[in-house]
Amino acid sequence: MKYRQLGKSGLRVSELALGSWLTYGKSVEDQTAKKCIETAYEAGINFFDTANVYEQGQAEIVLGKTLKNYNRDTLVVASKVYFPMGDGPNDLGLSRKHIFEQCDASLKRLGMDYLDLYQCHRYDENVPIEETLWALDDLQRQGKILYAGVSEWPADKIQEAHRIAKERNFRPLVSNQPAYNMIERQIEKEVVPVSMANGMGQVVFSPLAQGILTGKYKPGQAVPEDSRAANANINNFLQVYLNNKPLLETIQNLSTFAQDLDMNLTQLALAWILHQPGISSAIIGASKPEQIENNVKAVEFELSDEIIVGINDLLHPISNFGPRKK
């Protein structure tokens, strides 16, 4: 495993992180989840990402039960806040009240004294950015979180947050967590440049586009029975991909391209992301330990400029493919 700075902070994170969206506490049995987490740690992954809203805290519980077996100082643990955690008027968003209460709740579920990274899961148009940054700064002063970041914030709000933080002498945001992969590249135009200018690293989710970039889904063929696409509980984000024949054909061409490089498509897709500017880490999801073992090999590959040009040429027909949010 290789490690990078999280933006311009002093925190070093593994180039691949293990996430828990749609997997732990939901579609993956706890014992299998435990084995996946253990496999990731043994492979050198030190960065584990979750969120309070993932199965209403169950993902944090599953993650915490396994991570308690390791020395806390070897781990970088991240969670998030924003989405509803109850039916009350203050059970959502980025108010000072909700941030403080949910930080404590996440720490309790994880069984930890602090979070390495606490992220605002979305931008909250109903709460002044100053209030949100004030709460995050106080949590850092209290030692409950070490660093703060955001997820899926637009470029103009990222810039505004840094302006306010500088004016009020709040600790700066160090990361952004957007969707990013070979076929969803919307952040390249504005989000990445603004983030880099303000010292923020990208911690990208869905680097394999929900598994589409493994090459397992082929045009005109039924989806594999043991795949995410075959699971009605977690496949809703996949339909936009599966219904796009030109996209699936392009992915098969990419798979052949990867094989010619003695890689598989999964490894090529991850290596491609790690080659892009501003990337601190890519979050992988896994329902089987073998998937992690395959994914981590991606950090061994250095892609030449010629290879990148070849990939972009293959991607050109689907360059306007739209985004999908989690």
Catalytic residue numbers, as ranges: 54
Both structure tokens of 299? 């950090």
Which residues are paired to 18 by β-bridges?
48, 284
Position of tokens 């700064």?
137
d(CA 111, CA 117): 15
Closest CA to 211 of 297, 309, 287: 287
d(CA 244, CA 321): 10
Both structure tokens of 154? 């637009």
Locate all alpha helices (DSSP H) within the chain, ordered by sequence.
Answer: 30-42, 58-67, 96-110, 129-142, 155-168, 191-197, 239-242, 245-260, 265-275, 289-295, 305-315
Position of tokens 């809703």?
236
